[in-house]
Structure 1
Amino acid sequence: MSDTMQKISTGLERAFAAGGFAEPSVETLRDAAGVSLRTLYKYTPSRGDMVLAALENRHRRYLARVFDDLPEASDAALDAILDRVADWMRTETSHGCLFHAAVAADPASPALRDLLERHKAEVAARANAACGLPPEDLALTLVIEGLTQTWPLASDAALDASRRLARPLITG
């Protein structure tokens, strides 16, 4: 990815996370990307392309932040994953999953649905691998999704509940 595209994607991600997918005007998106309108449209020719670029950026950042350099022990990895998801919610988005919000804003978009499915599948695979769970097991995915979706209502109480629900998954 070029430096310009990275700059655009990062700015678009911030703009959509702050203002949703319908609210930001093209001028707001251009300003957030820090490029001219011509450059914005050169790299992302439509609003749909802008949303996809923003979400691809978010996908990469989320995976790195939650799953890079996890402890090797399953119980420590589980605690780290849940803590990092909570930290993400606390610092990046306190109102739920941006991927789900994008699909809700444009439910007819196959590209958005594919990106949502890919993101969630990669989160599940990495979480299960880190915690020593079978790849097809959905339980930890449900706990992580529950934490993400419940965070806006319960914040740290959602983290505490997630820990209580997830601990038996790795201890048998």
Structure 2
Amino acid sequence: MKKLLMGSFLLTVFAAAITIIQMSSCHKAIANPAVKTDTIIVHDSVQYCPNAKLSLTGLWIGYYTTTGMPSSGNQYFSFTIKPDSTLVNETIGASVQHFSTGKWQLHGDTLISITTCIYGIQSNIGVKEKHVALFNKNTGTLTSGIWQNYPTPTGGGTFVLTKVN
């Protein structure tokens, strides 16, 4: 009987020790709203990465203006930037949707792309445009954007984009 009691006592002490060790190793993370984090999904798990830099690839939406046409105001402008260096540019000007496709490169913080219009007003089909903008990894914006018909500058203006996805 003493052996059984002693065995039960040792088993209870051992189980209690494991429980205490397990409880002390767990901790609840307290979110710090002052630290900017990005959410990254990796194999169906969510990770929060403090001070993560935003990626250039994804959907960017904003507006463009046309030099010499201030009455046009801000017009819809977007980039879909893909990791394989391709880019799709969608604009709506004069109430007509336009699509252009091309390639992009990042030189330091400067994005440079050249696209060719494939859909829109008939006279714009085949027109090439060069886009240059500054990429801010921390705020997720493309600023100081300039677009210019390329290689012959027959039109141009400015654009600003914010990453939405």
Of Structure 1 and Structure 2, the greater helix share is in: 1
Higher CA-based Rg = 2
Greater length-normalized contact order (CA 8 Å, ≥ 6 residues apart):
1
Task: State whether TM-score is above 0.5.
Answer: no
* TM-score of the pair, normalised by structure 2: 0.27
Of Structure 1 and Structure 2, the greater strand share is in: 2
